[in-house]
Structure 1
Amino acid sequence: MTSPTLTFALLLLALLVWMSVPLIPAVMELVRPRDAAPLDAVGNDAGNLTYFAESFTARATREGLLGTMVPPRLSDGTEVRTHSVGQPLPKQRGAFEEFVVLMDSEPLPEGTELASECLARLTVRGSPNVTYRALLGQRDIYLAPGSMVQRWVHSRGRLEVANDCQLWGRATADRQIILGTNVAFERLESDVIRVTDVETAETPVLPTGAYERFVPRKARELGPAYWRVEDGVSIPAGNVLIGSLIATGSIVVNDGARITGSIKAHGEIIVRNGAVIVGSISARDRVTIERGARVSGPVISETAVVVEAAVIGGAGKRTTVTAPIVRLLPGATIYGAVMAAADGMTVS
């Protein structure tokens, strides 16, 4: 006869085994990565980056801040200050705690700090070293060198950011974002984002028949035109891979090569000059998109993404660049959003 203690132990063991069954695939993947599907996420977890700007606009409308006469206080009692060429804010050592409305394009005094939200009714032409807590521009915004945005900034037109600025939180624009060099950022979103105001020529997407067909060697076919390689892969220059590819090592897409499909690597991914990828990229290690390359889909790395003078996404086809560390070089062009979880920077 089984003792009560043994019976309890057996039941407890059975319960633990039953509870661990759902974890078996995750443990197997951790020990020996074999995930099959290429990552096709486009940054849906990013949420609506313009949420604060939309809420702020609704509030400004309710409070009458866009009307002919700006009220002296908001409904919650917050004092409102206006700034214009006829009545500018004075230069002071401390921060302005009031809600500030910029009535025209008169620059704020250099080094001004705004500790509350700021609404710009016309084009913003900033002065150097101005700190904004949050800034909504009804037209274009030009941030001067050394400016800082602590929470968010949104432009109804174009957002242009000079060298040596800091954009913490969210920076968005309806039309486009132009960044100088040495600009720190976290999250950017617009129809098009460029580093320096120089348009990068987009490498033409030639028909697949213009390339030599490439099929990876020693690859296991997981499905139609879908391969897994237990090593690194190098796509030769002038070749085309039609399909999706997973490699346990690194993937190099050489000069002028093309991939029609998605690629995923447990190592790093390098897309060289003039290469074209019509699909997504994801890697555990660093992703480097070299000068002249073109990628139509999302670029995701668990480590870092470096974009040289290359094009990500396309006009009318917004996508996402996502990594803990993101580096954008002059000429980098992204249609959509850039998410840098830990450290985003434009570099020369």
Structure 2
Amino acid sequence: MVSQFGSLGYTIMGKTADLTVVQKTIIDTLHKEGKPQTFIAKEAGCSQSAVSKHVNRKLSGRKQCGRKRCTTNRENCSLMRIVKQNRFKNLSELHKEWTEAGVKASIATTHRCVKEFGYSCRIPLVKPLLNHRQRQRRLTWAKEKKNWTVAQWSKVLFSDESKFCISFGNQGPRVWRKGGEAHSPSCLKSSVKFPQSVMIWGAMSSAGVGPLCFLKTNVTAPVYQEILEHFMLPSADRLFEDADFIFQQDLAPAHTAKSTKSWLNYHGVGVLDWSANSQNLWGIVKRKMRNKRPKNADELKATVKETWASIPPQQCHKLITSMPRRIEAVIKAKGAPTKY
């Protein structure tokens, strides 16, 4: 059973640092319940000697040195409830709401209290917005593929479209979260998969990447079949040569149109069924481009091409070998977004 208390301790140069208010509360609570000091130390995230010293100090009636805190444990807990209600409030907003509840504290005290509870202000991850039906579809798909081996995944030609913008814009509001909460639903910034923009189509396998296709129009079924003819088939020839392969595509309307299915059947291309809003190699490309600022569309296109071509086959193979772990993560998350 997972404990209700998180691991909050830290050490400095091999010596136990001063206990935080949260750690002391955990120690006092578990000590009253009669828990052994080894268990208490693990739950509080500190050494057993720190637990022993704190308990003995309390029993001997010795008072702690230093300035008395201006807020009580109850008031501190009320601040944590404010943080959990909306993780995207900035420090000023948290301080305002806390003091409006009758707590007398400075903004520095508010910041210190939030940090003592293990929260840090971070840039939120962006994940696809999944409804209940999509999560169930992802979960069902993952369970069907959980026994696939790396050798089976190596026979798949993965494909997808993505947008690339000249202006990367600002990073938006930050979010208060603890360690290990980066992928918690309350800490994620949702995204929409297909905003109105110019799209790029690409494919990859365990052997590397194929040629890119820059799209100038909306992807209708006829346009998509042209992409398959002039970019997908050459990618398959380059990456698989004469070996059999399975083609992966998402559930976009142009991909699932009857005419597209007929085209794939006519060319003898087997298609891997796929779940909604799955992440892929585009994230790596965009991270590589993070520090580049193209000034116009031509420079953007050249930058994308250069970055895409720089991806080594070893990196693609590494992604393929991670598929079993990705499947396991989807099942564990019950279809919700994962760290991948």
Question: Which band: TM-score by shorter chain?
Answer: under 0.3
- Structure with greater strand share of residues: 1
- Structure with greater helix share of residues: 2
Q: State the structure with bigger RCO (CA 8 A, min sep 6), 1 or 2.
A: 2
TM-score (norm 2): 0.25
